[in-house]
Chains A and B, each alone.
Chain A
């Protein structure tokens, strides 16, 4: 199989047009309009990049969800990365998406221009190589991402332990999808009337379920009456996912379905899950930028591995830093507002100077609207 086989079919113009027609036909039978939350920023990106909103009938809406690990990173944790990068004798490694995200002190790009050694890696395992080549320095991996990247960080730690590395630390910011979905429709935050959320159905990201399985979404149809379709990231995948959801409404079904049968199973990748469970445990609370503290929504290293935990080795500030008062990212993430309804969208808040979470990375709803426009 060639690399192009992985995407060519799933960007086929004829298939996309045919699916658009089929969705239109199904949607004409809907009793009420439906709001589909695409949880993952990757889906938001696909929808905006390929202009899929322009292909959908007027009674189907997307609510752009919080599934972008960079966007939801609270400023105080971005500050951790900055502070760690500015330490003497430290090499800070992270994934490329983190480079431009500003905390209260600046971005990692700023840190680098002030002389910090910040390196961007494609795979966490590259960090091991950097640590071996720089034994006299402390190499810190600032780990971000959902279920998809968490096993790789666990694999890095496993290798570091096996190879008795003493100059490698981890700063863990791995978050999980089901907890934030639950938060969005069943919030316990007293400041927000959560039951105003407009979400009727979820489009779940395929890569998360490759690791965690489709089973993680079973509570949503069962307990909250919200159907879920696990879909891939190409335009054909997303369109097919939408069609499957519309059909569920028309046929009176409410269940978890998998569009991305190419590699998603109910159980997921057991080995990857075991690796995560071996090294990580859930935090009681983790603050999501724009959404506040969400119980059990993120991982931390188990006590047994505290020697590898940069958050314990270094004394890092714990105070929370709030976003700009005018920012309505929380409402956007709950589907109560569109990016363009925000007063500061595209004016005070741009991808170069983001005020809130949704403008931070190209996977954030506001940044995607800003970049690709919504040329309906």
Chain B
């Protein structure tokens, strides 16, 4: 096999089969893919849930993950946040001519690992190779189907509900920024990129009354809470001191003038629960990440807005992020 992806490998002929057989199938083969037909018949599903996402992150390899891991975790997390168990995925690659075969294989291995965590399978896919300069190295598009186990939705959020966050914030955004800008820190920032289904499953299995969940990807915690605030006409009051920010992430934010609240996470989510369940839910979240915390509550003080309470007793709005914070983080 050649060391670099060539245009011929995407043209549907001999070289394409070689790419599929020697690389893609070797890592991802299952009984669905083995049929190798134009479309894959699936068994019927209970309460199916469907989503799609595309991934263009630059750089494609970053501390704590790569575009492969990100693509599977990202689409499975969209399902998990709806209370759905990820089942089947489609996977499409658009690869720039000349991309390293070894790196492509690394991405496939990450995809395989992440699928295993979600106990999901790729059932259909596609690979295109485009001339140099047409895309930046590799782009991935996925769609995912899952089975909904609970009816989590922003529509269930009520005054008095508790807000939790599943770890420290802003790692992915800060990590990509540091990688892109070549900022070298004493201790490297690793992305939080991870699949959330195992945590969600535990919450469901332990009988937590989950009102709503949202992974805090682009726009960070600020975007999630503002979207909810606008949709529900409620106030999301956050206690700033309870939100964990690692020292390295805070450092990047200081250097670049960002608020950690607007930076992306790729393996963290905001959880809204009935207040009677907040302690139990926190305990479960902390089993997965010790920085998980109860970060605030839902009130009616400023309808449609998010407020931050400082440690010295002042309050301010946390606004919807706008403008170009960071292009192509996912």
Contacts and interface: CB of A to CB of B under 8 A. Distances in A.
Q: Which of A3, A50, A54, A235 has the most CB of B within 10 A?
A: A3
A351 B322 contact: yes
A74 to B, nearest CB: 22
Contacts of B319: 370-372
Interface in B299-319: 302, 305, 307, 310-317, 319
Interface residues of A, number: 28
Contacts of B317: 371-373, 375
B247 interface: yes
Contact of A17 (B302, B313, B322): B313
Contacts of B315: 51, 54, 375
A373 B316 contact: yes
A52 B310 CA distance: 10
B181 to A, nearest CB: 7
A265 interface: no
B38 interface: no
Interface in A186-239: 235
Given A3-B254, A371-B319, A52 B324 contact: no
A55 interface: yes
A198 B314 CA distance: 26
Contacts of B255: 3
Nearest to A52: B314
Interface string A160-180: 000000000000000000000
B250 interface: yes
Interface string B73-93: 000000000000000000000
Interface in B276-314: 302, 305, 307, 310-314
Among A17, A20, A51, A352, find the residue whose CB has the most chain B CB atoms closer than 10 A: A51
Interface in A101-135: 109, 122
B251 interface: yes
Contacts of A318: none
A352 B322 contact: yes
Given A4-B251, A6-B254, A352-B322, A17 B307 contact: no
Given A4-B250, A375-B307, A50 B323 contact: no
Contacts, number: 60
A9 to B, nearest CB: 14
A50 B314 contact: yes
B230 to A, nearest CB: 15
A100 interface: yes
Given A51-B316, A371-B319, A13 B324 contact: no
Interface string B26-57: 00000000000000000000000000000000
A148 B251 CA distance: 21
Chain A binding site: helix, strand, loop or mixed by DSSP? helix
B316 A372 contact: yes
A52 B324 CA distance: 28
Interface string A227-257: 0000000010000000000000000000000
A140 interface: no
Contacts of A52: 314
A109 B314 contact: no
A6 B181 CA distance: 22
A287 interface: no
B307 A20 contact: no
B312 A17 contact: yes
Nearest to A42: B257
Interface of B: 181, 241, 247, 250-251, 254-256, 302, 305, 307, 310-317, 319, 322-324
18 contacts: A3-B255, A4-B251, A7-B254, A13-B311, A13-B312, A17-B313, A48-B316, A50-B312, A54-B314, A99-B323, A99-B324, A100-B323, A109-B323, A109-B324, A235-B312, A351-B322, A373-B302, A375-B307
Interface of A: 2-4, 6-7, 13, 16-17, 20, 48-52, 54-55, 99-100, 109, 122, 235, 351-352, 370-373, 375
Given A3-B251, A17-B313, A370-B319, 13 more contacts: A3-B254, A20-B312, A49-B316, A50-B316, A54-B314, A55-B312, A371-B317, A371-B319, A372-B316, A372-B317, A373-B317, A375-B302, A375-B317
